[in-house]
Structure 1
Amino acid sequence: MTALYRNDRPATYPASFYAAGVDFGPERAGLRGDQHADVCVIGAGYTGLWAAKTLAEKGLRVIVLDAHRVGFGASGRNGGQVCSGFNKSPRWIALRLGRDPARAMWDFAEEGKAMVRDFCAAHAPDATFKSGVAAGAYSAPEVRALHDEANFLRLEYGYEGIEKHTRDSFQSIVKSPLYQGGLVDTGAGHVHPLRYALALADAAEAAGAMIHERSEVHDVQAGQPALVRTGQGRVRADHVIIAGNGYLPHLFGKYAARVLPINSFMIATAPLGTRAADVLARDIAVSDSKHVVNYFRLSDDGRLLFGGRANAGLGFPRDIAGLLRGRMEHMFPQLRGMAIDHAWGGTLGITATRLPCLLHLGPNMVAAGGFSGHGVALSGLAGRVMAEAVAGQAGRFDTLSTLPTPRFPGGPMLRAPMLGAALTWFGLRDRLGF
């Protein structure tokens, strides 16, 4: 069974904190019969919706297909962090790509952040974009590494948005005894991810795109035009954009070899009231230097939204709340015994290098995925540059496709077990403090 149905009921949003506060409206009609489109987009998350919106605004006929509903996957379930850069340090990227290409990548990532911020300001104020993402470190060497990264960004790219913090100053903001220092990136931000996704869908439809929910793609036949088949319909399309990320079935071997589904989980506490100030002194999001990362922020109504515990198997654990409670209470002993009102999981896509994967799968097919925890900003950018490529301007797509995303070792049968073993090992290192 694929990630599409392993943990979820068809077209039913998970019982997350995000979904509990949203009015979804009626389902969009599924695809029926034969249709023609200039572009068929597979996946109605951030990537697919940005691609659809961009192309529809150019006057193209765009059909979007999703097996469930818009924003159903990682786009509507994530931690909401709109991070700077990639899930590799800028220095790492510069050493491997060279100075000028690395600067181009940084500029791409900055555009991705601006897309989210500007869209929410204009079209989704209820997604409440707020500035500030902190990175916490557990040891003095990790603090020095984070500060060195901030210095690199300031000197190489003129990026002045990062505050460097010592142990005492960081703990005055993030009230955990575990952190030994860190950074606060005021140029990054956080957002209500599901409201952002739903507003993107409305904007794409307002531009003329047609979105069909509960329309799982079973087969894509290459050709001019390509033929995209669902259970009850077909789309003949001059171009196809594949934007399913970790929920994409194994329709495309070249893509599946590079993008692996992985699960992450979140909980939402009951409202903390005045105790919220005992956790975070500023309304920022936080992630840390664990290999199996922790991430958290406060909701608008004062809950702690806390996430982590990645796993490489398709199945979710039975007791998500119990698994995350221990991590949360270890980090914030002052929350011991706090009620947990929501617990949920979701599937994202990662690559071997943790850098996004953009691929040509044929003369009229492009794909993007594997955003590896940085998808709130980078997935929309990927959708935009895929739309540009379809419209005849492939330069930016080709530049981003130079990011190294090799095949996972072990092939289709062994890659997930090997990753699971690696996550277990990294989790042990985290617990031992290495």
Structure 2
Amino acid sequence: MLNPKTHSTEHPDSYYFASAKYPNRYPQLTEHIKTDVCVIGGGFSGVNTALELAERGYKVALIEAYRIGWGASGRNGGQLIRGIGHGLDQFKNSIGQEGIDAINQMGFEAVEIAKARVKKYDIQCDLKMGYCDLANKPAHLKDFKEDKAWLDEINYPYETRLLSKDEMHEVVGSDNYIGGLIDMGSGHVHPLNLVTGEADAALKLGVQIFEQSPVTEVIKGFPNVVKTESGQITADLLVICGNAYVAGLDNTLEGQVLPAGSYVLATEPLSEEMWRKVLPQDMAVCDQRVDLDYYRLSADKRLLFGGLCTYSGRDPKSIQSKLGPHITKVFPYLEGIKIDYEWGGMIGIGANRLPQIGRLAPNVYYAQAYSGHGVNATHMAAKLIAESIHQESNRIEVFEKVKHMRFPGGRRFRSPMLAMGMLYHRMMDLF
């Protein structure tokens, strides 16, 4: 039986769903239709690809197995942080310094795309700029100093500031951190309202959107055919954006992305005195451990606290009992705070932590494996796919040059094998 706090055919009872501003319901696919482009997946990648293409004049149909924003796009921590991928130097042999520089630039552009979309379509999603990385040990501070120096060197247009241990209470009311790096070019957002607001914009541009329509078969060809139990879409172009839920759509994509659980708690609204103590500047923050915590305030000043990333493929029986102690470890004075919502779901992890964006065939595109940093990267992926389809640029090729490892073990054993690997990294983090 599916845990309703993590999996069901409807949105979980999250703070995001309770405060949703775009409660649109879209029809189930019950007919055979023909279109220019079929997009599979109603998360950020799929919705924004459909929107980008509709803006360019294409006839698009988007199909979602459950609800728009049902997956990670509507459940995540809502942190809109610059950057795409982790440790780009590892890809230098494949893409060269020019490719690394291009992806770095896209990491800035991705945030600007999301901000511009919110402004253009007046999407009510509580967008607020301001973010701080939190250092747990000296090595993190060293990384922050290098990052700050690089941002200064390239004339990053937003304020950045290194914080010492004595200055940390300016940002977070905790003694757990030895320093930080403020970035006013990153921020936070209500993710479900963002993705459903973008879907609403796409609908108004003519995109056909279908929900509660799981795909039963994908036949790639000229044209492509996407089948459900009660309908069918025939399209010249196909874009697969299943991410953590891509299983069954394509064997290659499924083997290169692993579902990992990620979970969030929402407290009761905090008093002004308390929220100003917890996060005085209302920034999103994230620590640097392998088993990281990330948190921020909602528009009504709840503490939204995320973490507990699991690789076993199993959800905790109680999210609150597992994640709640993280809150009191960071904020001992919040002991006994009431938790109003708990929820979670699967994010897509790639072996090298670089988003996988490219083509399976000349007329079949895909985007997946954002490894926990998808709010911005999905918007960039959608733009790259649309640019390629519309022959505006070949920027997608820098991602296609990177080879992605297939997780060993098959569908049954991939998660346990990765869980063992992550346990090793967590132990190294402790030492």
Superposition TM-score, scaled by structure 2 size: 0.94
Q: Does 1:66 align with 2:40?
A: no
Distance 2:105 2:64 in 1: 31
Aligned-pair distance for 1:125?
Answer: 4.6
Task: State how 1:95-106 maps to structure 2 within 5 Å.
Answer: 97-106=95-104
Distance 2:63 2:308 in 1: 30
Number of paired residues? 430
Provide the residue aligned with 1:9 in structure 2. Answer: 8
Note the residue ranges of structure 1 that are not aligned, 5 or more in a row.
none
Provide the residue aligned with 1:408 in structure 2. Answer: 407
Distance 1:5 1:236 in 2: 34
Task: State how 1:33-44 maps to structure 2 within 5 Å.
Answer: 33-44=31-42
Aligned-pair distance for 1:92?
Answer: 5.6
1:165 equivalent among 163, 166, 171: 163
Provide the residue aligned with 1:179 in structure 2. Answer: 177
> Residue 360 of structure 2 aligns to which amino acid in structure 1?
L
Distance 2:310 2:342 in 1: 16
State whether residues 226 and 232 of structure 2, in contact with CA within 8 Å, keep that contact through their aligned partners in structure 1: yes
Q: Does 1:110 align with 2:108?
A: yes
State whether residues 5 and 342 of structure 2, in contact with CA within 8 Å, keep that contact through their aligned partners in structure 1: no
Aligned-pair distance for 1:98?
Answer: 3.4
> Residue 15 of structure 2 aligns to which amino acid in structure 1?
F
Aligned-pair distance for 1:90?
Answer: 5.6
Distance 1:346 1:80 in 2: 14
Q: Give secondary structure in 1 for the equivalent of 2:222.
A: coil
State whether residues 154 and 160 of structure 1, in contact with CA within 8 Å, keep that contact through their aligned partners in structure 2: no
CA deviation digits over 1:342-399, x for unaligned, max 9? 0000111110111100131123111110011111001011112112222334501112
Aligned-pair distance for 1:87?
Answer: 3.9
Q: Give secondary structure in 2 for the equivalent of 1:113.
A: helix
Provide the residue aligned with 2:261 in structure 1. Answer: 263
> Residue 392 of structure 1 aligns to which amino acid in structure 2?
Q
State whether residues 22 and 193 of structure 2, in contact with CA within 8 Å, keep that contact through their aligned partners in structure 1: no
> Residue 327 of structure 1 aligns to which amino acid in structure 2?
H
Q: Indicate the larger mover: 296-305 or 380-389.
A: 380-389
State whether residues 355 and 404 of structure 1, in contact with CA within 8 Å, keep that contact through their aligned partners in structure 2: no
Provide the residue aligned with 2:80 in structure 1. Answer: 82
Q: What RMSD in Å do the two structures reach over aligned CA positions?
A: 2.2
State whether residues 44 and 375 of structure 2, in contact with CA within 8 Å, keep that contact through their aligned partners in structure 1: yes
Provide the residue aligned with 1:198 in structure 2. Answer: 196
Task: State how 1:226-241 maps to structure 2 within 5 Å.
Answer: 226-241=224-239
> Residue 224 of structure 1 aligns to which amino acid in structure 2?
F
Distance 1:306 1:374 in 2: 16
Q: Does 1:280 align with 2:253?
A: no
Q: Percent identity?
A: 33
Distance 1:142 1:133 in 2: 16
State whether residues 91 and 149 of structure 1, in contact with CA within 8 Å, keep that contact through their aligned partners in structure 2: no
| 1:213 to 1:410, Cα distance in 2 relative to 1, 3 A | same
CA deviation digits over 1:173-232, x for unaligned, max 9? 211111010211111111110110111001111111100011111111111111110110
Q: Indicate the larger mover: 18-27 or 337-346.
A: 18-27
Aligned-pair distance for 1:406?
Answer: 2.4
Distance 2:339 2:257 in 1: 32
| 1:94 to 1:284, Cα distance in 2 relative to 1, 3 A | farther
Q: Give secondary structure in 1 for the equivalent of 2:114.
A: helix
> Residue 71 of structure 2 aligns to which amino acid in structure 1?
G
State whether residues 6 and 315 of structure 1, in contact with CA within 8 Å, keep that contact through their aligned partners in structure 2: no
Distance 2:221 2:290 in 1: 43
Q: Give secondary structure in 2 for the equivalent of 1:219.
A: strand
Distance 2:142 2:13 in 1: 40
1:188 equivalent among 186, 189, 195: 186
Aligned-pair distance for 1:172?
Answer: 2.9
Q: Indicate the larger mover: 80-89 or 186-195.
A: 80-89
Aligned-pair distance for 1:405?
Answer: 2.9
Superposition TM-score, scaled by structure 1 size: 0.93
